[in-house]
Amino acid sequence: MNDKIDSRYDVAIVGSGYSGTMVAVHLARAQRGLRIALIDRGKAFGRGVAYGTTDPKHLLNVRADQMGAFPNDIRHFYRWLQTHPENLAAAGVRELRGDAFIPRLVFGDYIQDLLGEACALPGILDIIHDEIVDLRPRENGWFQLIGKTGSKLEAARVVLALGNFPPGEALQNKPGERVWFMNNPYSAEVHAKLAEPGDILIIGTGLTSLDLLLTLDKTKREGKIHLLSRQGLFPQPHKKAAPYPTFLDPDNLPKTARALCHDVAQELRRAAAQGIDWRPVVDAIRPLNQAIWMNFNPTEQRRFLRHLRGLWDTHRHRCAPEIMAVKERLEAEGRLVCHRGYIKGYQPTEEQVEVTYRPRGTSEEKKLRVRYVLSCTGPQADYRKLNDPFVQQLLARDLLAPDRLRLGASTAEGGQICNQEGSVINGLYTLGSTQKGRLYESVAVPELRGQAAELAARLLADLEK
Ligand SMILES: Cc1cc2nc3c(=O)[nH]c(=O)nc-3n(C[C@H](O)[C@H](O)[C@H](O)COP(=O)(O)OP(=O)(O)OC[C@H]3O[C@@H](n4cnc5c(N)ncnc54)[C@H](O)[C@@H]3O)c2cc1C
């Protein structure tokens, strides 16, 4: 930590991606003279993983006029863009439209701007660059936070805004072996390796893999890109359409995955008969997604994950059409080959690795010979399998417990963190992907902006008691 060490704060927020930063912004804007610490191990405060990219080809997957940081003003980002043409120009955007998909780095500029404004308000908002490795409850109900350097600070309330972790993968490069397996899709070093001549394999066909294609389109001159996933499902591209009315009754939501499927399929048929696209139908239930999930019992939640997750995620988390166009062009040029199947094994040699996989729906085995394999299978959400020192320490102290579906942490209403027994830990809060087990829909700005505002309001009320 820097010279702000050994300080006492009303609220310490660990993680300065969108979520943690917006909690700090709301607290500072309330102007109650609070002492707030915003701590991150990375240097790009306010950006986090998603908006820390420097590649202007990496676009938001939500339209500009829907990406406002405040739940009561979703056009706020769009208006900010109108008054900051220099940020758009620097990212190569010549024309601003409300329905455009803006480079993610510009959204990062916006959040950093909000953070800068918040720091200038009365009260204390300290930006602390360090990795927190331990959290110790004190007898007086406060917490002590320990930085990687051994430095300490104390806080009355702590918010864990830790975001997503790298993809989980049991594979490790063996000592002395050429590095051929990688699992950090956001690392510049990994990008450089993938651009080397020779074929490569990316496992996973989600939004992160599509991002990589945009980067590799520019950097990879020799060798094919192979993409492989079990279901071979890609995020669907957005398409403009008029909003569709809510068709589920909030007071009588489906109780099973099968009933949900039935209701949505029926509505899709109805919409199709009127020439309406499926997208607004899916969007119409978004405000109810968390309620639907919470209405399922654990067996139904598991059933949903087993049978519907892939389909749901690729239709719900869509991509900008420009991005899908690049994927299709790369395929047409023969630079990209997409596979559907299950990996059976890897055989690394000096120069290459032979990957054996079974194409879906067959019993045959096929082989790919590639230089590198990158796992892009989505963040590891089973905290017990993470080798993150802070998370391991939290688990050991029973200040964090996996939720029963291993989608995140065990949490209660309002983002309170629960221990292994399910009891709320006073003073310890979270938001974002840690809440996926309880809410499922808890990863994108349209949900996180509400969570950040609500958590800040709760902290303010709590501190006033
Ligand atoms: C590639 C990508 C693109 C996306 N695009 C969109 C989009 O277009 N629209 C949308 O709505 N959503 C998008 N999302 C979803 C995205 O997750 C959210 O919008 C949002 O950025 C999540 O922010 P967060 O703060 O919760 O997590 P993160 O951004 O992951 O931030 C967590 C922060 O915590 C820090 N941290 C973790 N542990 C520690 C520790 N021990 N000590 C100190 N610091 C720590 C990390 O360094 C990191 O900065 C995207 C996600 C990804 C991964």
Let me know if domain 181-235+319-375 sits in CATH 3.50.50.60.
yes
Q: Are 212 and 202 in contact (CB under 8 A)?
A: yes
The preferred substitution site among 1, 13, 18 for testing ligand 1, maximizing ligand atoms within 8 Å of CB, is 18
Residue nearest to atom 33 of ligand 1 (CA): 15
Q: 7-165+381-464 and 181-235+319-375 share one CATH topology? A: yes
Q: Are 175 and 30 in contact (CB under 8 A)?
A: no
Residue nearest to atom 45 of ligand 1 (CA): 15
pLDDT at residue 169, rounded to an integer: 65
pLDDT at residue 178, rounded to an integer: 79
Q: Where are the domains of the chain?
A: 7-165+381-464, 181-235+319-375, 257-316
For residue 186, give the ligand 1 atom closest to its CA.
Answer: 1
pLDDT at residue 29, rounded to an integer: 97
- Which residue ranges of the chain lie beneath pLDDT 70? 1-6, 169-171
CATH topology of domain 7-165+381-464: FAD/NAD(P)-binding domain (3.50.50)
Amino acid identity for residue 456 in this structure:
A
Ligand 1 centroid to Cα of residue 51, in Å, is 8
106: three-class secondary structure by DSSP: helix
Q: Are 26 and 452 in contact (CB under 8 A)?
A: yes
pLDDT at residue 167, rounded to an integer: 80
Ligand 1 contacts (CB < 6 A) are 14-20, 39-42, 48-50, 60-62, 104, 131-132, 161-164, 207-208, 211, 390, 432, 443-445, 448
pLDDT at residue 2, rounded to an integer: 43
pLDDT at residue 170, rounded to an integer: 60
Question: Residue 150: how many CA atoms within 13 Å on its side-chain side?
Answer: 0
CA dihedral 104, 107, 109, 114 (to 10 degrees): -160
172: three-class secondary structure by DSSP: coil
pLDDT at residue 176, rounded to an integer: 75
The β-bridge relationship of strands 200-203 and 8-14 is unpaired
